[in-house]
Structure 1
Amino acid sequence: MSATPYLDRLTARGRGFLGSRHAILGGAMTWVSERNLVAAISNAGGFGVIASGAMAPDMLACEIEATRALTNRPFGVNLITLHPRLADLIAVCAEAKVSHVVLAGGLPPAPAMAAVKQFAHLLCFAPNLAVARKLLRSGADALIIEGSEAGGHIGPVSLAVLAQEILPALPEAIIFAAGGIGHGAGIAALVEMGAAGVQLGTLFAAAEESVAHPAFKQAFLRAAARDAVASVQLDPRLPVIPVRALRNAGTEAFVAKQREVAERLDRGEIEPAHASLEIEHYWAGALRRAVIDGDVETGSLMAGQSVGMVKAIEPVAAIIERLVTGAEAALARARVAEPA
């Protein structure tokens, strides 16, 4: 690995918190962030994160064990707060002595935060400054600020705005920036602003070690940033979180699915809670078709706007090396340009 003294100094808190060579988190991507990719990220000096998604507790236990068979480096587990068996999943992580847990998918409940804190470092997503402060007061050890440029489920605000709002206001907090990051110079700018590190997903989804179908990866290679679009919410009674994915027939099918569920809601055939859940299940199935089966026409090609920077299918180690050397070069240029 290349020497990166400037980057190391600026990311010292993030690296120390994660226990990894570089403060680069792998974004947790359902069906993609499994044992092979997670281990590859950790082995290459980053910090892999298992996406538990809708896994049952026994499945998660197996995935943690299988990941440990592939790496002796630290990695974490991402848990969705809306999972009906969240407490059981936390218990699995405790039993497996997982060192870091990310609670995602909404404001985490206090009991879940307290349970995780008993055995692991806790990371939470902060969509704005007020929530960031609340999470830190509630016991979060680190935060992830993810801009709307990211792939998958997204918030409404860009990383460029979130970074300016949150990083200067919380200089003592350990904060990882995410969303649309695809180049070392971008990492350099964020850590200069105060980020302790970064999180990336889209670049890793197309890596050699990713289990995603070859057709899925080829779609990434062909795509431009503008092709990764956010889903539209048709009915306020179905408050589904927007999803960013590559535009295809599946994008239009999702609009039709919302319309169908809304009509059933009008007829009283389904309860509001079940209606929203059906929408989420639709996304999970569409994502699996794309990632596992290679259905790039009607499946969900979840990708961030950094997809335009995916130029080749290459090993995770090469991706991380390029990112850190690019960041180091940008930081070095800035130091040279400084007045004496």
Structure 2
Amino acid sequence: MNRITQLFNIKYPVIQGGMIWNSGYKLAAAVSNAGGLGLIGAGSMYPEVLREHIQKCKKVTDKPFGVNVPMLYPNIEEIMNIIVEEGVKIVFTSAGNPKTWTSWLKEKGITVVHVVSSTKFALKAQEAGVDAVVAEGFEAGGHNGREETTTFTLIPMVKQQVQIPLIAAGGIATGKAMHAAMILGADGVQMGTRFAMTIESSSHQNFKKACVEAKEGDTYLTLKELAPVRLIRNKFFDEVQTAYQNGASVDDLKALLGRARAKRGMFEGNLEDGELEIGQIVGLINEIKSVTDVMTEIINDFKQSAATQYEF
């Protein structure tokens, strides 16, 4: 038996990343209905908006789904209470100390998974009592690890150190990549970029179009002094680069970033002034499809890859 399908009671060990401005209830429910685990991305939702999305998700799927909570956001207590009140049974935490909420959530009967970018943090998460970890390489979109460790370097290192189930993330968009991650020790995979580029994703059509047109090498990791983030190059990105060249301080960078930059880019579709967060693997994806079609492709590709016999 697969440890991830058992842990979440799902058909396939495929988790949709809880991405800001992409992961509303429609995407989460579609992934869960297709046999994976859908996650609502709480990072871009006010508490009451999150409640609404959880309630809508429950109406359109009877399958397990979860909520991703970046712990650096305000209203964290309110968000956690809503998750408990609405009966959500799976929570993925990120961007913070897993000790803060893990035992509280587990006391409420909730399965807790923490996202990490290094073996050190994977061990801390295991020590905090989480049920599984997502080890995410720096190929991933959005907020990222400072270490710049790639997924296929990170997975075997984490596997060597932790006993709990391990989910690989960062640069994984196909069944072949899923197979490779599992050969290296992962029990399952989390895919963000692949599901961001689906019909059901809640991001703006302009953003999806920009992602489809993006080529290899069009994303960059920047703003490490604040919180490292991977973006498609655009006018805003160029302004950040100019600021660096002019010796910008952390406060200068904060002022340049301002508020709601990611919302402007991904949700409102402002391709010039917004943050366009997406993973490196975007260069491989050139079509927006339904979640059902994407999941079918991933699983067929995985089965074909796993059945391959090599001769040397």
Q: TM-score, normalised by structure 1?
A: 0.84
Q: Is 2:170 the partner of 1:195?
A: no
Question: What residue number does 2:102 align with?
Answer: 113
Q: Output one character per residue of 1:165-209: Cα deviation in whole Å (capped at 9) or x when no partner.
A: 112333x32010000012211110111222110000111111011
Question: What residue number does 2:84 align with?
Answer: 94
Taking the aligned partners of 2:257 and 2:35, their CA distance within structure 1 comes to 33
Question: What residue number does 1:222 align with?
Answer: 213
Report SS of the residue matched to 2:160. Answer: coil
Does the 8 Å CA contact 1:142/1:173 hold for their aligned counterparts? yes
Taking the aligned partners of 2:215 and 2:190, their CA distance within structure 1 comes to 20
Taking the aligned partners of 2:181 and 2:10, their CA distance within structure 1 comes to 19
Does the 8 Å CA contact 2:266/2:277 hold for their aligned counterparts? no
Does the 8 Å CA contact 2:226/2:250 hold for their aligned counterparts? no
Distance 1:257 1:48, change over 3 A: farther
For residues 173-212 of structure 1, what are the structure 2 equivalents within 5 Å? 173-212=164-203
User: Which structure has the greater CA radius of gyration?
Assistant: 1
How well do the aligned residues superpose, as a CA RMSD in angstroms?
2.4
Does the 8 Å CA contact 2:94/2:116 hold for their aligned counterparts? no
Does the 8 Å CA contact 1:176/1:197 hold for their aligned counterparts? yes
Counterpart amino acid of residue 12 in structure 2: H
Taking the aligned partners of 1:71 and 1:281, their CA distance within structure 2 comes to 37
Taking the aligned partners of 1:131 and 1:242, their CA distance within structure 2 comes to 16
Taking the aligned partners of 2:242 and 2:104, their CA distance within structure 1 comes to 40
Taking the aligned partners of 2:293 and 2:9, their CA distance within structure 1 comes to 20
- Give the superposition deviation at 1:317: 0.9
Taking the aligned partners of 2:10 and 2:251, their CA distance within structure 1 comes to 48
Question: What residue number does 2:60 align with?
Answer: 70
For residues 142-291 of structure 1, what are the structure 2 equivalents within 5 Å? 142-155=132-145, 156-170=148-162, 172-233=163-224, 239-255=225-241, 265=251, 282=259, 285-291=260-266
Does the 8 Å CA contact 2:21/2:44 hold for their aligned counterparts? no
Specify which of 257, 263, 271 is matched with residue 296 of structure 1.
271
Report SS of the residue matched to 1:225. Answer: coil
After the TM superposition, which of the residue ranges 254-263 and 321-330 deviates more from structure 2?
254-263
- Give the superposition deviation at 1:257: 7.0
Taking the aligned partners of 1:291 and 1:77, their CA distance within structure 2 comes to 20
Query: Between Structure 1 and Structure 2, how many residues are aligned?
Result: 309
Question: What residue number does 1:323 align with?
Answer: 298
